[in-house]
């Protein structure tokens, strides 16, 4: 059956990723907080409807309310190591479409229907301030010095290297603005058969993130256009929706909290809906975080948001520290 097969796929994918990448770089708090598949966002099932642009990792797994379903995602660019891709390339490059192009699939159950979705997201533009690049470069130089002890036979201070690397990762999350695009399609079926799935809804949207350098705040603005598809698969949408929203995030250590307000306009029925939600996350370990959300959703009835889930992340992002000619 579809749901059983997909749930098994989540477990197999996560198990494979864990075995092959467990020895690679560990995730930091910001990598795990409030990340959701575009399919779950389009279905209004994600902890947050406004997602701040982040750096997608090689593999990710999300479990929605544990028993309802979940999502898997992957960033193809990082399937292989990039030894010639320097850290300076990463922080100075502004167009990051391929590096952050992330594909995902999600599934969940709603009443008597099985919902399947496919989606993508990518940061098409990101720019650090000059002050942020200066701080990142200085921190990179400090790590390089620790990796190249001057005297022969000197041992590396691994604890210090990890400490400074953690600082660098935290500094990367500040002092820039970024524009992300995302899109998804939703299909549903009452029977556990792919042949009976009908396309119901599609959407495309943009998230703009402003992250000041010297505090833990993030400001994110959203514009989303979505439409429903009827059962006869006619290409002209039956309903069109326009979403406008703002989100304020605050991150510190292993915590991340966010509040968002989204206004939705139904273009065909000329009706308005509002979503007011608060989300939070707590990092349990370097690979796993608890996420939760509560508030009021768009629907006029049955609109209480009470979501709880777990995000898993695994990475394989290996780039070269220092200059290419070193």
Residues 66-113: tens digit of each pLDDT: 446 678 888 899 888 888 889 999 999 999 999 999 999 988 877 777
- Where are the chain's structural domains? 2-129+175-320
Residue 226 above 80 pLDDT? yes
pLDDT at residue 237, as a whole number: 55
pLDDT at residue 9, as a whole number: 35
Dihedral angle sign, alpha carbons of residues 193, 198, 200, 203? positive
pLDDT at residue 247, as a whole number: 95
pLDDT at residue 63, as a whole number: 61
Give the CATH class of 2-129+175-320: mainly beta
Q: Per DSSP, what are the bridge partners of residue 183?
A: 120, 204
More confident residue, 92 or 325: 92
pLDDT at residue 272, as a whole number: 93
CB 216 within 8 A of CB 250: yes
pLDDT at residue 110, as a whole number: 75
Q: What is the mean pLDDT of the chain?
A: 78
- Taking residue 149's Cβ as centre, other Cβ atoms within 10 Å add up to 12
CB 94 within 8 A of CB 170: no
Q: Counting Cβ atoms within 10 Å, is residue 302 exposed (0-12), middle (13-18) or buried (19+)?
A: exposed
Residue 183 above 70 pLDDT? yes
More confident residue, 71 or 129: 129
Q: Which tokens belong to 128?
A: 């650090």
Residue 5 above 80 pLDDT? no
Q: For the ranges 12-16, 173-177, 225-229, which has the lowest average pLDDT? A: 12-16
CB 222 within 8 A of CB 247: yes
Residue 291 above 60 pLDDT? yes
What is the percent of the chain where pLDDT is above 90?
37
């Amino acid at each position: 059956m579809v749901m059983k097969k997909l749930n098994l796929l989540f477990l197999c994918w996560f198990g494979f990723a864990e075995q092959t990448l467990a020895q690679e770089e560990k995730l930091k708090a910001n990598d795990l907080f409030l990340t959701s598949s575009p399919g779950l966002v389009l279905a209004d099932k994600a902890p947050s409807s406004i997602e701040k642009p982040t750096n997608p990792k090689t593999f990710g797994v999300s479990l929605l309310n544990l028993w309802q379903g979940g999502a898997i995602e992957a960033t193809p660019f990082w399937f292989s190591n990039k030894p010639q891709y320097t850290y300076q390339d990463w922080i100075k490059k502004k167009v990051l479409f391929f590096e952050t192009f992330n594909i995902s699939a999600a599934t969940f159950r709603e009443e008597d229907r099985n919902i399947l979705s496919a989606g993508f997201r990518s940061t098409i533009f990101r720019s650090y301030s000059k002050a942020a690049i200066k701080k990142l470069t200085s921190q990179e130089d400090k790590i390089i010095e620790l990796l190249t002890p001057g005297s022969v036979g000197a041992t590396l201070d691994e604890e210090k290297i990890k400490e400074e690397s953690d600082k660098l990762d935290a500094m990367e999350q500040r002092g820039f603005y970024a524009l992300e695009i995302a899109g998804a399609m939703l299909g549903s079926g009452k029977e556990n058969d792919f042949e009976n799935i009908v396309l119901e809804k599609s959407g495309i949207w943009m998230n703009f993130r402003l992250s000041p350098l010297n505090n833990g705040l993030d400001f994110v603005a959203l514009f989303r256009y979505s439409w429903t598809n009827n059962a006869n698969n006619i290409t002209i949408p039956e309903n069109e929706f326009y979403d406008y929203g703002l989100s304020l995030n605050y991150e510190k250590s292993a915590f991340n909290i966010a509040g968002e307000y989204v206004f939705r306009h139904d273009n065909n029925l000329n009706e308005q809906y509002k979503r007011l939600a608060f989300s939070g996350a707590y990092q349990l370990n370097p690979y796993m975080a608890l996420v939760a959300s509560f508030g009021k959703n768009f629907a006029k009835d049955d609109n209480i948001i009470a979501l709880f889930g777990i995000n898993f992340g695994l990475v394989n992002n290996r780039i070269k520290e220092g200059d290419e000619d070193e």
